Structure 1
Amino acid sequence: MAPQRPHHPHRSESFSGRSGGWKADRHARRRLRGSLDAPVIGSDDERAPKGTEGRHIALEEPGYELIDELQSLRPLLDQLGERDRKILSLRFGEELTQSETGDRVGLSQMHVSRQLTRILATLHEGLLADRIAEDSTDVEGQ
């Protein structure tokens, strides 16, 4: 008697029509597990499992730098006045135009533009000062 396909509530039923579908799925998982657990071997080495050539353990993720900068930005935002935070929130959070932002806070589009330039310059200077302070701390710690 042929083995019955086990019931998996989260598995797609698309395998039911294929011959050996669940067996193929199990085989694919086993191959994947083997390639992820396999030691990294140079790309010129033919012993490297297929698909793992040139795989690196540590990669630089650009998202981490963004998170660091956002964490550095939080205290700088807290130092801004309520109106400045409102302007930033409307312009970049709600993605309103400068004119729409001005309508909400009672300013002209031109004045919103000037305020944004000033606010962003303040935040930029604060981030640069934080980065310089971090760099000097790193140098002293070495």
Structure 2
Amino acid sequence: KSPSCSSPRAADPTRGILSGVPPPARGKSSSRMVLWVFGYGSLIWNPGFDFDEKILGFIKGYKRTFNLACIDHRGTPQHPARTCTLESEDEAICWGIAYCVKGGLEKEREAMQYLERRECEYDQKISVDFYKDGNSLEPAVTDVLV
């Protein structure tokens, strides 16, 4: 049985900064992939990629701020627009949506290509634990891409 979107992924000691597409979810079958993506800004109301499930919740250790100067989506070099970004802060939480993309490597690749174009100003990609309201001790999903 392959993993579903609502199944938590096993903890992975290699989690951290990602240089590309995260590894597939653990399970008996590697023919189906599961990718989780965390949306904390405009991805909340306009994800722009094909997903199979979404969950409302939060990540720990980050806060949402509007201090990224942007000229590629909006704004000008003389008047850059402020866009949403995350800053590390130990006691912070950031609410958003975790989107699940499953159905194989091609669907996951399409989502990642779209996100690479859309989120071109990020400094890094990381994987984090994602929590649902009511249980801040045990992650609902691990290895969510931010």
| Larger strand fraction of residues | 2
- With normalisation by structure 2, the TM-score equals 0.21
- Larger relative contact order (CA 8 Å, sep ≥ 6): 2
Give TM-score, length-normalised by structure 1. Answer: 0.21
Larger radius of gyration: 1
